[in-house]
Amino acid sequence: MALFPLSSNFQGDFVFQLLPVDTENTMDEVAAAAAVHSVGKRVAPQPDKVMRVRRHSNGEMFPRDMLVQDAGLMPTESIDIIFE
Amino acid sequence: MALLPREEWYDLTRATNWTPKYVTREELFPEQMSGGRGLSPEIWETYDEPYKVTYPEYVETQREKDAGAYSVKAALERANFVDTADGGWVSILKAHYGAIAVAEYAAASAEARMCRFAPAPGNRNMATFGMLDEIRHGQIQLYFPHEHTKRDRQWDWAHKAYHTNEWGALAARHFFDDMMLTRDAVSVSLMLTFAFETGFTNMQFLGLAADAAEAGDHTFASLISSIQTDESRHAQQGGPSLKIMIANGMKDEAQQLIDIAFWRSWKLFSVLTGPMMDYYTPLEHRSQSFKEFMEEWIIGQFERQITDLGLDTPWYWDEFINDLDETHHGMHMGVWFWRPTVWWNPRAGMSPEERDWLEEKYPGWNSTYGKMWDVVIDNLQNGRPEQTGPATLPMICNMSNIPIIGKPGDGWATDQGPKDFALEHEGRLYHFGSEADRWCFQIDPETYKNHLNFIDRFLAGMIQPMDLGGGLQYMGLAPGEIGDDANNYEWVGTFAKAAE
């Protein structure tokens, strides 16, 4: 259990943002944490959709229950959060 | 005593080189500072600047310029223009002075490097005047805002900005240090005078002078017009250096230096001048859109100049042209949203009429950048102002030191969204806002690899406490200095009226 910084690129938003998460967070929890900084601020909510996390560099979609520590991400690596 | 006409002595004296007796030429002009690139003194003596001036002529002209600008200021001081001007225009003045004034002193150092170390005697002569120009620009752009420090503390940032770790100041220092203070004299002549001054100070000074005159700010218009006439003279130092390099088989190196400086200049001006022209200047006073100005002054004039001299357009030219439709809109949203982190009050520029203007000038604006502003406006109209401010930091490019952004709204999902051009180098993950920013790093990683941008500093624990308050303290932004909406959110009401 450790603080782990990521870079969040949220669908519909314009900027990558620093996203501190925990290594034991699931990808659903990561998406929810990222949404705090985009949805309702510059991105309109889409409550009927599921938010998914993928690796920015190659588009690899992470399973929703995968933990951050198992995803092979580097500190500050960029992730996309997309509506599905 | 009768003076010889200039044409009878100028060419002889401006090309005067002497043969050192007590030191070697290499000691007198060390390569690291001079950048003679192994070319003989005779070759560098062929340097022929297109604009020639003598010291008496220079002093007489500069005195007239100063007298003109200072007398306009004195005559209009009691008119208290800034007290009645739109908040956006006042913000342009605050942002401009903070971003430019003290950097002029760095430019004086860069000119001094050419003045002392340039291998071409003609360059040394011109740079003497350039150095004096930049000292004048530093002084006059500190003096003019000083009268306003009685109005509020943000005006003090004309002097303060470069002495802080405010993120914009960090970005500007990184750029200007790279281009002006860490390169040999010949490189400075190409990067500072040719790429930056020919290309970009035209935009800041001519473009804003036109808007200032439209806005009725004759003091600022006369000030920056006065500066621009110096720039247009000393910007011509790079062209002759470029000719010598091309003629002696160094086109590729010259091209690379100019491509680096041009790209880095563009990124800085996208966050500084773009929002000023398209959002801060009141609609009725806008002479051209930022893109129109860029097309006229950069694409039209700069492109012609580089191709006339035998260079190619930079390899990233298509991306640059594409960015003219996008980058500054994102930078504007970023500055407005993170408004506590700047020393001026960002003007939203978001009335229904202004949005129509943006859509007209930038077709598709409403379905992209406008979508984000729709959410902001909805929050402000419905009592959720806390949703219109930041709770984290934007990721920052390790070259430009400004946020990594891209096109929002519709189209994000179809490959038009922001992109992080990451690079792992010696175990550290770097982030870049564009391929060209990453390319600058890859040319010379030794120079850049140890710099910590604002995010790196935050993650290294250098900013405490690790929240907005700690960040503002680190940036030197005290209460009374931090930015807020330039028009006190009055523009939000125009949407309710438009809907009725």
**Ordered domains of chain A (ranges, CATH):** 3-83 (3.10.20.270)
Q: Which two tokens stand for residue B384?
A: 């959720």
Q: Is B5 exposed, middle or buried (0-12, 13-18, 19+ CB in 10 A)?
A: exposed
Mean per-residue pLDDT over chain B, rounded: 94
> Which tens digit of pLDDT belongs to each residue from B154-195?
999 999 999 999 999 999 999 999 999 999 999 999 999 999
> Which tens digit of pLDDT belongs to each residue from B27-49?
999 999 999 999 999 999 999 98
Instruction: Please tell me which residue of chain B has the smallest CA distance to A8.
Output: B395
The count of other CB atoms within 10 Å of the CB of residue B417 is 22
Query: For residues A19 and A7, what is the distance between their CA atoms, to the nearest angstrom?
Result: 6
pLDDT of A33? 98
Instruction: Please tell me which residue of chain B has the smallest CA distance to A40.
Output: B375
Closest C-alpha to B96, from B155, B39, B165, B11: B155
pLDDT of B132? 97
| Binding-face residues of B in 85-144 toward A, CB within 8 A | none
- The larger pLDDT score, comparing residue B496 to residue B307, is at B307
Residue A28 to chain B, least CA–CA distance (Å)? 19
| Binding-face residues of A in 51-70 toward B, CB within 8 A | 56-57
Query: For residues B287 and B272, what is the distance between their CA atoms, to the nearest angstrom?
Result: 17
Question: pLDDT class for B138, splitting at 50, 70, 90?
Answer: very high
Angle CA B389–B392–B396, to nearest 5: 110
Mean per-residue pLDDT, B453-477: 96
| Binding-face residues of B in 297-336 toward A, CB within 8 A | 330, 333-334
Comparing CB atoms, the residue among A20, A76, A80 nearest residue B429 is: A76
Which residues of chain B make contact with A78, given a CB cutoff of 8 A?
395, 420, 422, 431
pLDDT above 80: residue B202: no
Q: Report the SS3 class of residue B283.
A: helix
> With an 8 Å Cβ cutoff, are B407 and A41 in contact?
no
For an interface test with A, the pick among B271, B398, B412, B430 (most A C-beta atoms closer than 10 Å) comes out as B412
pLDDT of B9? 87
Phi and psi, residue B74, nearest 5°:
-60, -40
CATH of domain B55-499: 1.10.620.20
Comparing CB atoms, the residue among A15, A40, A80 nearest residue B404 is: A15
Instruction: Please tell me which residue of chain A has the smallest CA distance to B375.
Output: A42
> Which tens digit of pLDDT belongs to each residue from B101-124?
999 999 999 999 999 999 999 999
Please check whether residue A68 is in contact with residue A25, taking contact to mean a CB–CB distance below 8 angstroms: yes
With DSSP H G I counted as helix, E B as strand and the rest as coil, what are the percentages for chain B, rounded to 5?
65, 0, 30
Residue B405 to chain A, least CA–CA distance (Å)? 4
pLDDT of B500? 63
pLDDT above 70: residue B499: no
> Which tens digit of pLDDT belongs to each residue from B401-443?
999 999 999 878 876 789 999 999 999 999 999 999 999 999 9
Which residues of chain A make contact with B366, given a CB cutoff of 8 A?
none
Which three-class secondary structure string do you get for B385-404?
A: HHHHCCCCCECECCCCCCEC
Q: Where are the alpha helices (DSSP H) in B118-237?
A: 121-146, 157-160, 167-176, 185-188, 202, 208-215, 218-234
Per-residue burial over A52-78, b if 16 or more Cβ lie within 10 Å, else e, is bbbbbeeeeebebebbbeebebeebbb
> Which tens digit of pLDDT belongs to each residue from B53-80?
889 999 999 999 999 999 999 989 888 8
Instruction: Please tell me which residue of chain A has the smallest CA distance to B330.
Output: A14
pLDDT of B155? 98
Query: For residues B301 and B199, what is the distance between their CA atoms, to the nearest angstrom?
Result: 8
> With an 8 Å Cβ cutoff, are B375 and A19 in contact?
no
For this complex, say whether ipTM is above 0.95. Answer: yes
B428-430 and B423-425 strand pairing: antiparallel
Mean per-residue pLDDT, B284-302: 88
Q: Which residues of chain A have pLDDT under 70?
A: none
Mean per-residue pLDDT, B490-498: 83
Query: For residues B466 and B358, what is the distance between their CA atoms, to the nearest angstrom?
Result: 37
Q: Within a 13 Å sphere around the CA of B346, how many CA atoms are in the beta-carbon half?
A: 23
